[in-house]
Amino acid sequence: MSIAIEAAKCVGCGLCTEVCPGNLLQVKAGRAVIRDVRDCWGCTACVKECPRQAIYYYLAADLGGRGGRLYAENTKNEIKWQMYWPDGSFDEIVTAKGEANKY
Amino acid sequence: MITVNVREEKADVLIIGGGAAGCYAAITLGEEHPGLSVLLVDKANIKRSGCLAAGVNALNAYITQGHTPKDYADYAKEDAAGIVREDLLLSMSEGLNEVTAKLEKLGLVIQKNPDGSYASRGWRNIKINGENIKPILARAVLDQSNVKVRNHINVVDYIAADGQIRGAWGIDLRKEEIVLFTARAVICATGGAAGLYQPNHPGTSRHKMWYSPFNTGAGYAMGLRAGAEMTTFEMRFIALRCKGTIAPTGTIAQGVGAPQVNSRGKAYQAKYGNTTAERLWAVVKENLAGHGPCYLSTHGISLEQAAALERAYLNMAPAQTLFWRESGLNPSEFDVEIEGSEPYVVGGHTASGYWIGADRSTTLPGLFAAGDVAGGCPQKYVTGSFVEGEIAAQSAAKFAEGVAPNFDSAWIKEKIIRQVQQFLGQDNDSPYTVESLEEAMQQAMDEYAGGIKTYYAYSESSLKIARKHIERLTQLSEELKAKDFYGLLKIFELRERLLVCQALIEHLAARKETRWHAFAEHLDYPERREDYKVFINSKLEQGKIRIIRRPLAAGKEEAVV
């Protein structure tokens, strides 16, 4: 269970290193890196914090992962959760911040 | 010897841990005691630190119309088979609705009924959007002019002098220096302990667990080392979760009314009872009987319901939504497989933690506890932690008034530096690493102290072996060396966990009965016993855990030894 950082998109702003509850992220040579993917809790705080959508979340192989990548575009009123699949297709689910969970 | 810098900071009240309880304590001190200076210290950043990092799906402790705080206390007492402090449960329950209204004012979205009341999910839960509960709390804390927040500082131990707790010291992970905090009163709100037992996925996804893997039991360990009395560690918490993702099951079970069924499609819950422990135990028993795996029966729910579930999970456990989409196992068509997590020690769900008075004072003068570190008051969850933070803040403010503001900490500096230097070094003589000792600890606890491998059960013989392993690993941990402060953090975390394990094993051994299935499943004593309607408390004395039995009627008077 972990996140991955796309070096090509990362600008090394360090916002993700601020919010990781496990102090797992660092900026090294101008890019964010994770110390050890096995230590990620999967909270997605960094995914939601990244202004460049350079961080995605994935299910590791031991959790049934099939290569899907979950990104989040975090705006003032909603979060657009984008799931990219290995075949090139993608799904989007929008959660409105002003709306409570139905369940 | 590596030179280490020491920085000093001073406040009237020091709060250790910026989760639900710590943040609420800071807000209370900010709004109601603006004359006091407050320091809130967190190992990460309060914006997303602690167990609410991903969000929370509902507020699980709220008194809905037609119910009273006493009803809530009665429910929690029954769920814990009587081992609770009713005085603590009542004072917590009485504050639930007020703190909820406060959170709404701060910006938390709560679903309303047409008449303006909160929409409930059952009689004690209300529906919210809890994705941003931590950012909301953090912003409210930062708005307080008398509160200073110190992020990325991991507190290691208390500073005690003149018979009271006068502060704490920690390591600044960014500046790589020691920070010595002195205060007139201290509130501990560091959370419970995860990572004691081998987790569901010990490999790549070793941290995909229910509770925050960064909550290491620091508060329990610091309290034990300083001589505080602890209670009920043996009432472990084991979460019933969605298979693999370890996402919550309550949202499905209560939200769409999905019953538990076994692999033969039979509902079985009624056979085992309906307490939190029994719902988990039911899965264990069904698996043992060859009826597993077990599921939440969701097939047949509408596509709209399934879509609402997907959105709800994104707001607190996004892995589950990704799993549903990626696997094609849409809950409207396929049941959701469930499993038990590894055990935790966590006082927000069970009664484990500091033995406290009604004012949330611990047995150490000057030290107050709130949230998951505070014992005797189970089922407090997020809102109950807020209430405890508020009570602890008021008590700490009052206590601080009677304490001299200045305190000479020079005498303790050298001792702290030596403690840090012991674990710092480029050359590691030992062939052991933090990781290898942590894995060995988790394996020993799993096999001999009632982990997943033994279906949560243990015996006197197995606990003896667990005890030996923890002793051995504690000795080995003395020789560990870290190259930087992050490495130092990992060593301190391991040592905290080892001490919590040591205490937990003695608690499990001392309760010679099975009061809660799975949570404390003693194979030598498989039944409940009348003479164990007591609290099992403990103290660390000369490196050994001393067990203290206390009557259930115990209140503050008995708490102060």
Looking at beta carbons, which residues of chain B come within 8 Å of A80?
Answer: none
Looking at beta carbons, which residues of chain B come within 8 Å of A38?
Answer: 203-207
**Residue among B312, B242, B53 at smallest CA distance from A48:** B53
Q: Do B314 and A79 touch (CB under 8 A)?
A: yes
Residue B432 falls inside a structural domain: yes
The CATH number linked to A48 is 3.30.70.20
The two structure tokens encoding residue B15: 């709060």
Residues B334 and B288 in one domain: yes
Considering only the beta carbons, identify the residue of B201, B212, B256 that sits closest to A103.
Answer: B256
Residue B208 falls inside a structural domain: no
Q: Which of B361, B379, B410 is the last residue of a domain?
A: B410
Distance of alpha carbon B518 from alpha carbon A18, whole angstroms: 38
Residue B555 is predicted with a pLDDT of 64
The CATH number linked to B302 is 3.90.700.10
The residue of chain B with its CA nearest to that of A21 is B49
Residue B10 is predicted with a pLDDT of 96
**Tokens 């007492």 belong to residue:** B77
**Tokens 């590894």 belong to residue:** B342
Residue B561 is predicted with a pLDDT of 42
Residue B550 falls inside a structural domain: no
Count the domains in chain B. Answer: 3
**Tokens 């029966």 belong to residue:** B297
| Beta carbons within 8 Å of B23's beta carbon, 6+ residues apart | B40, B46, B137, B138, B140, B141, B389
Pairing of strands B260-261, A69-74: unpaired
Residues B331 and B382 in one domain: no
Distance of alpha carbon B379 from alpha carbon B89, whole angstroms: 9
Residues B477 and B425 in one domain: yes
Q: Do A93 and B311 touch (CB under 8 A)?
A: yes
CB B242 within 8 A of CB B248: yes
Residues B317 and B406 in one domain: no
Residues B353 and B288 in one domain: no
CB B504 within 8 A of CB B449: yes
Distance of alpha carbon B22 from alpha carbon B40, whole angstroms: 7
Looking at beta carbons, which residues of chain A come within 8 Å of B121?
Answer: 103
Residues B161 and B46 in one domain: yes
Burial-class residue B249 by CB neighbours within 10 Å (0-12, 13-18, 19+).
Answer: buried
The DSSP code for B326 is: H
Burial-class residue A74 by CB neighbours within 10 Å (0-12, 13-18, 19+).
Answer: middle
> How far away is chain A from the Cα of B476, in angstroms, using its nearest Cα?
23
> How far away is chain B from the Cα of A79, in angstroms, using its nearest Cα?
9
pTM summary value = 0.97
Residues B467 and B362 in one domain: no
Distance of alpha carbon B36 from alpha carbon B147, whole angstroms: 9
Residue B217 falls inside a structural domain: no
**Owning domain of residue B302:** 240-340
Q: Is B279 helix (H, G, I), strand (E, B) or coil?
A: helix
Residue A103 is predicted with a pLDDT of 82
Residue B85 falls inside a structural domain: no
Q: Do A64 and B251 touch (CB under 8 A)?
A: no
Residue B126 falls inside a structural domain: no
Mean pLDDT of chain A: 96
Residue B399 falls inside a structural domain: yes
Residues B468 and B519 in one domain: yes
Residues B12 and B135 in one domain: yes
The two structure tokens encoding residue B367: 């030290």
| Beta carbons within 8 Å of B205's beta carbon, 6+ residues apart | A1, A2, A38, A60, A62, A63
Count the domains in chain A. Answer: 1
Q: Residue B116 corresponds to which amino acid? A: G
CB B321 within 8 A of CB B329: no
From residue A83, how far is each of A41, A53, A57, B223, B327 by CA, in Å? 19, 12, 9, 45, 13
Q: Is B279 a catalytic residue?
A: yes
The helix (run of H) or strand (run of E) holding residue B38 is strand B38-41
Residues B443 and B520 in one domain: yes
Residues B484 and B530 in one domain: yes
Residues B361 and B443 in one domain: no
Residue B247 falls inside a structural domain: yes
Pairing of strands B185-188, B367-369: parallel
pLDDT less than 50: residues of chain B: 559-561
**Owning domain of residue A51:** 3-99
The CATH number linked to B523 is 1.20.58.100
